Amino acid sequence: MNEEQLRAMLKQAAGKLGMSENELMQNAQNGKLAQSLGSTHNEALKKALSDPEEAKRLLSTPQAQKLMQMLSGKKKP
C-alpha cells in the first residue's frame, strides 16, 4: 500500500465517520481515535485489541505499520 492509497483509505474512513480527514488524523495523533468511532466500531476495536494475539496480528500488518508511520509523522528509513 502506497501513501496515496493510505490517504484514500483515510479519506474514506473519515467520510464514513462524518468528519474530515484532518479531524480523523488529529484525533488519532492525540489519542482520541476511540472517541471518533461510533459505539459499534469502538466495541469491535476494543474487542480486537483486548486479545493480545489478535492485536499483535492486526498491528503487524503492512497497512497498520504505514498508518502508524503516517500518524506519527515519521518516515521509514
Contacts of 29 (CB under 8 A, 6+ apart): 71, 72
pLDDT at 73: 72
Q: Which tens digit of pLDDT belongs to each residue from 5-18?
A: 777 877 888 887 78
Q: Which tens digit of pLDDT belongs to each residue from 62-77?
A: 878 887 777 777 665 5
| Residue reference for cell 466500531 | 41
Within 13 Å, how many C-alpha atoms sit on residue 23's CB side?
Answer: 13
pLDDT at 40: 63
Q: Which tens digit of pLDDT belongs to each residue from 29-63?
A: 887 777 777 666 667 667 777 788 877 887 888 87
C-alpha–C-alpha distance, residues 31 and 54, integer Å:
20
pLDDT at 68: 77
